Amino acid sequence: MAPKHKSSDAGSAYKPKRICEVLSIREKVKILVMMEIEKKSYVEIARLYGKNESSIHEVMKNKERFHCPIIS
């Protein structure tokens, strides 16, 4: 019977781990200000920060966590 997995030496090219870049709270508040006050779109902000549009949606979804008086 053939093995289910390839041997560990197959394709052993070194691949560095991806670095997780988390937005700071300051950046998240700036994103909220851009969305609420400046009326920028998700796409514009995502391009500005070099993030996926879904990351910006997550910030907006969790905006109650930041308690920013400008936004509330």
pLDDT at 10 over 70: no
- The whole-number pLDDT of residue 20 equals 82
The domain ranges of the chain are 25-65
Residue 14 zone, left/alpha/beta (φ > 0; ψ -120 to 50; rest): beta
pTM (global) more than 0.75: no
Cα separation, 20 vs 34, whole angstroms:
24
**Band (15; pLDDT cuts 50, 70, 90):** confident
